[in-house]
């Protein structure tokens, strides 16, 4: 199944944007009468028939739909410090989307070497991963947020923080399945002792992700996979 993304999709008839139209007509060489699948990124999956195979404004007719396609019974929020090499962060976003995630917040920490991220660029990575992994929900991507501001935000669920020092219990042993979770992962230089203390004061529970010393993006993927595995 080939999946296309159309956030503004509504009604029975619709004309797709130039990017998706080109992919359908020029790349895949689909024609009038062929069927495609689309998502609005909000949980709906549509089956549609091509009614006009124009390469810049392909038109479709919706013939079937499903709501809450692939909806999960828990919410996973990953708060991960941007990596110095942004391609590593993009890799995390791609793989986390494929595995399953609801929300991502780039958190700017004391030891962060990267203080800014380009949200539109990162959103493209996420949407591409949504289409590749056949998901109907596009994860929410926050603007970059300072650590001290982030940890004070309200969250209905279990809160965890992973860092290099200490010997806390494993995430898989502390997390309660079917429960909303937020996991905070620091930068390459790790979180400062003051940040760890502040996080714990705001309800974050320290966890470990294994015996290996992991890169930021690897630790984030391990945490994301652990939560998803616990909910299977």
Task: Determine the pLDDT at residue 157.
Answer: 95
Q: Range of 168's domain? A: 76-230
pLDDT tens readout for residues 129-174: 999 999 999 999 999 999 999 999 999 999 999 986 777 899 999 9
Contact 50, 33 (CB under 8 A): yes
pLDDT for position 165? 72
| 100 and 197 share one domain | yes
Give yes or no: residues 36 and 84 share one domain: no
Looking at the fold, whether 38 and 93 belong to one and the same domain comes out as no
Specify if 25 maps to a domain: yes
- Are residues 103 and 190 both part of a single domain? yes
Ramachandran bin of 20, using left for φ above 0, alpha for ψ from -120 to 50, beta for the remaining angles: alpha
> Is 94's pLDDT higher than 80?
yes
Boundary-marking domain end, from 23, 47, 66: 66
Question: Cβ distance 220 to 185 under 8 Å?
Answer: yes
| Three-state secondary structure call for residue 162 | strand
Residue 156 and residue 107 share a domain: yes
CATH number at residue 208: 3.40.1280.10
* Residues contacting residue 85 through CB under 8 Å, at least 6 positions apart: none
Supply φ then ψ for residue 61, to 5 degrees: -125, 125
- The answer to whether 161 touches 206, Cβ cutoff 8 Å, is yes
**Domain count for the chain:** 2
d(CA 207, CA 223): 10
Does residue 120 share a domain with residue 86? Answer: yes
Q: Which residue has the tokens 């616990």?
A: 230
Whether residue 38 lies inside any domain: the answer is yes
pLDDT in tens, 101-128: 999 999 999 999 999 999 999 999 999 9
Is residue 47 included in any domain, yes or no?
yes
In a domain, 71, yes or no: no
| pLDDT score of 86 | 96
The Cα–Cα gap between 8 and 40 comes to: 7
Mark whether 56 and 87 lie in a shared domain: no
- Domain annotation covers residue 56: yes
Residue-wise pLDDT for 28-54, tens only, equals: 999 999 999 999 999 999 999 999 999
Task: Write phi, then psi, for 78 (nearest 5 degrees).
Answer: -105, 125
52 and 123 within one domain: no
Measured between alpha carbons, how far is 184 from 30 in angstroms, rounded to an integer? 44
**CATH number for the domain harbouring residue 42:** 2.40.240.20
Q: State the DSSP string of 23-82.
A: IIIIIS---TT-EEEEE-SBS-EEEEEEEE--SSS-EEEEEEEESSTT--SS-EEEEEPP
* pLDDT band, residue 212 (cuts 50/70/90): confident
Let me know whether 24 and 104 are in one domain: no
Distance CA(199)–CA(219), nearest Å, equals 18
- Taking the complete model, does pTM exceed 0.75, yes or no? yes
């Amino acid at each position: 199944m080939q999946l296309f993304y159309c956030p503004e999709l509504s009604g029975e008839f619709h004309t797709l944007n130039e990017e998706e139209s080109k992919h359908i007509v020029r790349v895949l060489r689909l024609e009038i009468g062929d069927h495609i699948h689309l998502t609005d990124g909000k949980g709906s999956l549509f089956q549609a028939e091509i009614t006009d195979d124009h390469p810049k404004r392909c038109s479709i007719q919706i013939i079937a739909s499903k709501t809450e396609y692939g909806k999960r019974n828990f919410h996973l929020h990953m708060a991960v410090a941007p990596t110095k090499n942004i391609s590593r962060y993009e890799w995390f976003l791609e793989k986390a989307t494929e595995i399953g995630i609801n929300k991502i917040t780039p958190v700017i920490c004391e030891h962060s070497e990267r203080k800014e991220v380009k949200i539109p660029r990162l959103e493209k990575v996420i949407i591409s991963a949504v289409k590749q992994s056949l998901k109907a929900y596009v994860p929410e991507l926050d603007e970059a947020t300072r650590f001290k501001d982030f940890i004070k935000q309200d969250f209905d669920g279990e809160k965890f923080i992973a860092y290099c020092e200490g010997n806390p219990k494993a995430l898989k042993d502390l997390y309660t399945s079917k429960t909303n979770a937020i996991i905070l992962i620091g930068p390459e230089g790790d979180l400062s002792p003051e940040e760890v203390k502040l996080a714990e004061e705001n309800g974050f529970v320290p966890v470990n992700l294994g015996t290996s010393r992991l890169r930021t993006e690897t630790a984030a993927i391990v945490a994301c996979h652990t939560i998803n595995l616990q909910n299977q």
